[in-house]
Structure 1
Amino acid sequence: MTRTNGKTASSESNTEQLPNRITVVGRGVPSNFEFSVAGDIEMMSEDPVEEATVVTKNAVEGSIEVGVQRFRFSGELANIHVADWNGMEGGESPSTPTIHVDYGVSDR
C-alpha cells in the first residue's frame, strides 16, 4: 500500500513536514532493503508501485538493482536492513545498496 496516493514530497509544505531524506543507491545487483523511522515517511516518486516499493506510515520495504530511490521522512531513523540477492546482509556483501541519510535538507 502506498501512502498519500503516490504523490511526490516536493512541495514546500511537505519539505517542512518531512525535512529529512533517505537515498537508496543500487549497485547493479538485485538487492532488498527495508527501513523504518520514528515519524512519517513518503517516497519521492510519481509511482512507488512501479518501483516495487511498499511504503506505509513509517516503514519502507523494496528492492533495487540500479538507480536511485529517495524518501522524505520526519523524526529519526529507527532501523535499516539491507541484503543482496543471496540474502547476505549489508556488512557481509559489497553488492547491497548504499543508504544515505540526510537530516534537515530542502529540495531547492
Structure 2
Amino acid sequence: MPTEDTLPNLVTIVGRGVPSNYELSVEGRIRMVGANPAEEATIVSDRAAEGTIDTGVQRFRFSGELANVRLVDWNGASPPESPDTPTVHIDYNVPDR
C-alpha cells in the first residue's frame, strides 16, 4: 500500500533534437529522477516542474494525478502545430527500481 512519501507514477519527457520548454504540474508531489534538478530542470514547488530539453530523456516521479503538461518548441509553437516538441509518456503505478 502506498504511503504519503511514495511517488508511484512516472512521467518521461523525450527530446526531439530541438530546444524546447516544458512545464508539468501534478495534484500530489513531484521530483526529478536520475539527474541534478539544478542542471536539468527547475522544480518550482513540490507540485510543479519546468525546464528545457533538446535531446535525451528526463524523468519525474510523482504522486496523485498529472494535472497539466505544457510543451513549446524554440519558436514557442506547441503540439500539434510543431512536430519538434518533446514527447511525453505517463505511467501510473510504476515500481521504483
**Which residue identity does 1:73 align to in structure 2?**
F
> Are 2:55 and 1:36 aligned?
no
**Which residue identity does 1:54 align to in structure 2?**
T
Deviation at 1:70, TM superposition (A): 0.3
**Unmatched runs of 5 consecutive residues or more in structure 1:** 1-12
Pairwise CA RMSD:
1.7
- The number of aligned residues is 94
Q: Percent identity?
A: 57
Deviation at 1:49, TM superposition (A): 0.9
The structure in which a higher percent of residues are helix is 1
Q: 2:42 aligns with which of 54, 67, 90?
A: 54
Between the aligned partners of 1:29 and 1:45, the Cα distance in structure 2 is 22
Deviation at 1:65, TM superposition (A): 0.1
**Which residue identity does 2:10 align to in structure 1?**
R
Deviations 1:67-100 (A, max 9, x none): 0000000000100100000000121101000000
**Unmatched runs of 5 consecutive residues or more in structure 2:** none
How high is the TM-score relative to the length of structure 2?
A: 0.90
> Are 2:64 and 1:107 aligned?
no
Runs (4+) of structure 1 moved beyond 3 Å? none
